[in-house]
Every structure is written in structure tokens, then in C-alpha cells.
Amino acid sequence: MIARVTQEDLVDILQAFEASGFTRLELTLGPLRVAAKRVGAADGGGVESLASAAQVVAPLLGIFQAGSHSNAPALVRPGTRVQADTIIGFISVMRKLTAVKAGRRGTVAQVLVEDGQFVEYGQTLLQVSTQSAAAESERPESHCVNAR
């Protein structure tokens, strides 16, 4: 089990990064992912970004379907705001569709699979940037609902 990471912990990590000679930081602790990149000296040498992203994983193996039906536009793409119950896609197994929900509130940061791609159980489908990921200590389960 991973200990909770507090806001103070994140501030300490970023202060240590700023004081170091490193130009880039990537840290993953369970569902929390922190990434920071030093901006060039002309920009003041501060930290460019801090991102917390949680993974949404496939609840079963099958064919990922990004839209509500074949050839439909994707339900989510980078920048889409999602709630915990937002359906982000479907997984098809033997012509039965299972809806995959985001499982958390945030903004889609990156979609890692393509429409029609075979996915395995537990494979990361997309990443959701959250503002409260630091307060969470366990990786959330993907929620699934059977659909027609």
C-alpha cells in the first residue's frame, strides 16, 4: 500500500527539483504521476508544468471501441472533461459491448489506444489529469456496465 501524498509533500518535491540541476522530473507513486520540466533561463528558470494523471484501465480484454457505434466519433479525446460516470469507450467481446467509465473526475490528458485496437485486461486506455490525485492513495478500478 502506498502512503498518501500530501500537498506539502508535492511542494517539497518541486522545491527540491527547482534547487537541483536537473532539467526534468518524472515521478510515479501508484495512481499519482508528477511531471515537471525546467523552462529555459530566458523564461526565469521556473517549473513549466505539474501534472497529476490517473490511468483508466481496461476492465476486460477485447476490442476497444472509441465511439458509441462503428464509425462514430470518439466519445472522449485529449482535453475532454469527464466525471467518474462518463463513458470513455466500449470494449467488445463476442459482439457484446461493455461500457468503460472514467472512474474519476478530471480532464483527458492522453488517449493511449486507437479505435478497433485489441486491448488486454488491465491495459491503460487513457490518462485523466486530476487536481485531487495527490489525496488518493489507491489506484481506482475501472467501472464497467454492460451495453447493447
pTM: predicted TM-score of the whole model, two decimal places: 0.55
**Which triple of cell numbers denotes residue 53?**
494523471
Domains and CATH numbers, the chain: 7-47 (no CATH), 52-135 (2.40.50.100)
Residuewise pLDDT in 10s, the chain (148 residues): 556 777 777 778 877 877 777 777 777 777 777 777 766 534 444 443 444 678 899 988 899 999 988 788 999 999 999 999 999 999 998 888 999 999 889 999 889 999 999 988 888 899 898 854 333 433 444 444 444 4
